[in-house]
Amino acid sequence: MVLAAGEAPEFLGPVVALVCVAGLIGAVFVRLRVVPIVGFLLAGVVIGPHQLGLVSEEAYVETAAEIGVMLLLFTIGIEFSMERLAQIKRFVLVGGATQVGLTIAVVTGVVVAFGQDWRIGVFTGFLVALSSTAIVLKVIAAKGITTQPAGQVSVGMLIFQDLAIIVMVLLIPLLTGDGGGGGPFGIVRALGTAALVLVAVIVLARKLMPPLLERVARLCSPEIFLLTIIAIALGVAYLTSVAGVSDALGAFLAGMVLSESRHSAHALSEIMPLQMLFSAVFFVSIGMLLDVRLLGELWWLVLALAVAVVAVKLVTSYAAMAVLRVGAPTALASSLLLAQIGEFSFVLQQAGAQVGLTPAGMGERGGQLLVAVTVVLMTATPAFAAAGERLARMLGTRGAARRPGAAEESGAPTGPEGKGDRVLIVGWGRVARNLGRYLRANDIPVTVTTLSPDLAAEAEAEGHVVVRGDAVRAGVLHEVGMDSVRLIVVCENSGEETTHIAEALHNVAPGGAIVARPRDALDVAGLYEADVSRVVDTERSVTEPLARTVLDMLDIDHADPGKPDPTRVVAFDPDPDTHCPHVGDIRPVLPSTSGCTGCLRQGKHDWVHLRVCAQCGYVGCCDSSPERHASAHSAESGHPIAVSAEPGERWAWCFLDQLQIEPAQRDTRPV
């Protein structure tokens, strides 16, 4: 359809309002050090039909929210691999089952005591039993307790809750008691059907997914790989929904199967930005359900219900952890972490609404109260976590609450120096292969990242640790374990690609030393701005080792720390009060040689001082030297400024104005 001039698509206004308001409020909450999910919920409250009405047509948002739920479960499935489940299986199976079962039983008893049917009580128990996986994982990661007892117990129970959603979604239609396949036989039949579907999906996925991903990965195209991952997630979700099982469950299963693939880190890093976008839409859509006017009328009931939920979750979670015998401090800290209602409770609420079930049998008002209580408790979760940390310390177990070092948090090996000695090589080829062999010969561990399955297999055959994926993705670097990496080497890309990779690495892994070796033209200024520590020019990298080898064979001492380093960028930042009109010609350069270029051509070594041209990197001798090559180069090339290459000197000289230029105060990087 063609739009007339001045018209806009019908959906564009609501989408712009949703994104802008969510981004603004989310940024405010990040500044307040509150998880942005709470901001997304409040953004939905602001723009929803009950308040400003900026988004009156909810169909678009609901569709995006459903995709968000599927992608969220898909990424959770990737992260919860079978290996990870096995490590904390006791926390998952024993602790999680006890906590969920006790919560459902207690809530059912309370609801029945207030005169409601037991089916309503069980449904309400489903809603209350779940905690927020998204918020709790962010909180424990921020506090650095993922590998501590409190973090592990919390993660184990969250995994069981996420898995329990599968059964809960299947049971909700059977709680209506309308004779439509209800009763024990109906439950058994539904669970049996679901089990068959799950087995079929897992078997097919295990057979089809590895060769499919291998073929796609060989294309080395991030775009095609991303499309394939989304197709797998949504395709499996669609197949399970056609078979009568939750589409969100299908997405979770697809992620679980993919987690066993060696491309799981690559897949997670590619899909994470999309997952975050659609998940934000999901939380905004939940916030749109809240009517602030009703909240104002029933604020006392919201607070009372929030207190009741916290009390129930504390009691049931603590009891479950008592069964695990993890100790009182850990049990208390974990119980406070889980004392909220989770985002997937809204998925269950929507499933219940389709069959006439509402929270506590209160109809639309019950749904509003669920949203309000959830927003309150999600907002309070960081405070709950801090309180649990303090209480655990008071009870005398520092290990449950202390913050580990960054390397301990990521599971990376640590040592007395903090940083490890591992080298990360980005990309794999002939240069990287030879470098890897040299490093291994010197007992230096190497990790390689590459998109190519063939090159990854070759690097593994050399004995290196390989992480498949794009190194500029935060998820891939998390898989690498940057706390053990001392140096990053980018040596198999074009000049433009090398600059882009260095810039991205500087953003996602700040502080890491980077060595760059572009295989073609250099972008010296771009690499300098990306904070690259050393730059190896491809042409010189062959000549200089050859020259050093020849000099060694001739027993000539060529080591001189006072000479310019052709791999270190020379960047001079002039004093802004300098009156020289030529300072605008100064740019970051690489020294052309480690001595005076003109003298070396003549076979001489009797220069006095060295200067580096601030426009092309030519190294020349000063006017006190016999040949005065620095001045001669300036006159011949028209490049007016040279930087002193003498150790400890930080000044430049303009040959045209015969003026010494002092550095700016902030110019602290060495020449």
pLDDT (tens digit, 9 = 90+) per residue, 160-201? 887 787 778 778 887 876 544 455 666 676 667 667 766 776
What share of the chain in percent tops pLDDT 70? Answer: 76
Going across the sheet that includes 534-535, the strands are: 465-468, 446-450, 422-426, 485-490, 513-516, 534-535
Helix (H) or strand (E) holding 643: strand 641-644
Choose among 665, 291, 204, 229: nearest CA to 469: 229
Do you know the residue count of the chain?
671
Provide the strand spans (E) within 437-551.
446-450, 465-468, 485-490, 513-516, 534-535
Q: Is the pLDDT of residue 112 over 70?
A: yes
Most confident of 47-61, 159-173, 238-252, 554-568: 159-173
**CATH 3.40.50.720 applies to domain 417-536:** yes
What is the maximum alpha-carbon separation in the chain? Answer: 105
Reduced to 3 states (helix: H, G, I; strand: E, B; else coil), residue 437 is helix
pLDDT at 417: 38
- Domain residue limits, the chain: 12-177+186-400, 417-536, 563-661
pLDDT at 312: 94
Which residues, including other chains, have CB under 8 Å from residue 288's CB and lie 6 or more apart? 44, 45, 47, 48, 49, 50, 55, 58, 61
Angle at which helix 363-394 crosses helix 264-287, to 10 degrees, equals 120
Distances (CA, A) of 354 to 58, 186, 235, 288: 17, 18, 24, 19
Q: Which amino acid is at 453?
A: P
User: How far is it, in rounded angstroms, from Cα 441 to Cα 438?
Assistant: 5
For 325: left if phi > 0, alpha if psi spans -120 to 50, otherwise beta; the answer is left
Which residues, including other chains, have CB under 8 Å from residue 468's CB and lie 6 or more apart? 217, 262, 263, 265, 266, 449, 450, 451, 453, 456
Please identify, in words, the CATH class of the domain defined by 563-661: alpha beta
Q: Is the pLDDT of residue 308 over 90?
A: yes
**164 exposure class (CB count in 10 Å sphere: 0-12, 13-18, 19+):** buried
Please identify, in words, the CATH class of the domain defined by 12-177+186-400: mainly alpha
- pLDDT band for 32, please (50, 70, 90 cuts): confident
Structure letter (DSSP) for residue 168: H
Reduced to 3 states (helix: H, G, I; strand: E, B; else coil), residue 616 is coil
- pLDDT band for 63, please (50, 70, 90 cuts): low
- 73 or 587, higher pLDDT: 587
Choose among 388, 374, 373: nearest CA to 337: 388
Q: Cα-Cα-Cα-Cα dihedral of 644, 649, 651, 656, to 10°?
A: -30
- Reading the block at residue 174, the tokens are 């059977």
pTM flag (> 0.75)? no
Q: Is the pLDDT of residue 371 over 90?
A: no
- 399 or 321, higher pLDDT: 321
